[in-house]
Structure 1
Amino acid sequence: MFRAAAALAIAAAALTGCAPEKQLYISDAWVRLAAVEGRPAAGYFTIHGGPAEATLVSVRTDMAVRTELHESKAADGGGMTMDSIDQVPVPALQQVRFVPGGKHAMLFGVNPAVKPGGTLTFTFTFADSTRIQQNARVIAAGDPAPAGK
């Protein structure tokens, strides 16, 4: 009995050593279309850091003329301000969330073919030239955020 338990423990330890490292990836991507035609849409997502630090430098989609990274912040006096940001550090093995009222991607000149209920594809580019493609669900301006987002 002892030998069988010892063999199982050794096998479990060996398998744990073979487990792949967590990799950099994107999840929970979605886009809220603008309430007024011609205004920018906003994109949200979660970046999951891999084994090393990373730096997001751009998000693009073929379905918009231009995409910029932005961050909303509380302003002096109680309002909100929005600033463009050039890059976003992603700590190793941690998450960076792009959410309403925080970091987000602004999509300017969205193709009229993009409709609620559809998807578009984002390409995320990092400082080390890593590129990740991720589909994003599209919702209308007044719709609630997708569940869990």
Structure 2
Amino acid sequence: MGMPAKGSIGGAAAALALMLGACSAPPKLSVDNAWVRLSAVPNGPAAAYFTLHGGRTDATLISVSADVAVRSEMHESMTGARGMSGMHPLDRVVVPAEGDVAFAPGGRHVMLFNVNPGIRPGGHRVLLTLTFADGRRLQRNATVLGAGDEAAE
């Protein structure tokens, strides 16, 4: 019987240790499923959506900006006592440790004002920058959808 090639056992052990370490890695603050819906109205605001995943400790989102918009605001849609729909601005959103916070149609979203008129669905991407109270920033490219396109999942 031949002996394994020199270093192959050590390499296998290192790979196993790396895989096991990844399984127990602490959660990290992250963002995914980012997408932007363009307005149906010319020069109207677009809306950005995404999901935040909490890290080891609570985090507080204080702003979201987009590379194609002059101004952005976090908002939350709501239905009032008389059944009237509306929205109100949010100055911060707490992301609980190891929890998820969705920015989705009918709920939290980011309004993007004065969007570059050259942005079109399909081939374009929007770079979102999420800023947290502790100074952390996360960036994520968002898919661009037209006003009538089916929502991204």
Could you tell me how far 1:125 is from its partner in structure 2? Answer: 0.3
Q: 2:39 aligns with which of 34, 43, 52?
A: 34
Q: 1:71 aligns with which of 68, 76, 80?
A: 76
Q: 2:131 aligns with which of 125, 134, 140?
A: 125
Deviating above 4 A after TM superposition, structure 1's stretches of 4 or more consecutive aligned residues are none
- Structure 1: 5+ residue runs without aligned partners? 1-10
Distance in 2, Cα, partners of 1:43 & 1:16: 35
Letter in 2 for 1:55: T
RMSD: 1.6
State the TM-score, normalizing by the size of structure 1.
0.86
Task: Please tell me whether Structure 1 or Structure 2 has the larger radius of gyration of its CA atoms.
Answer: 2
Aligned pairs, number: 135
CA offset digits 1:79-103 (Å, max 9, x no partner): 2110011000000000000010100
1:102-113 matches, cutoff 5 A: 102-113=107-118
State whether structure 2 residue 100 is matched by structure 1 residue 95: yes
- Structure 2: 5+ residue runs without aligned partners? 1-15
Distance in 2, Cα, partners of 1:29 & 1:106: 14
Q: Which residue of 1 aligns with 2:5?
A: none
Q: 1:84 aligns with which of 83, 89, 92?
A: 89
State whether structure 2 residue 142 is matched by structure 1 residue 136: yes
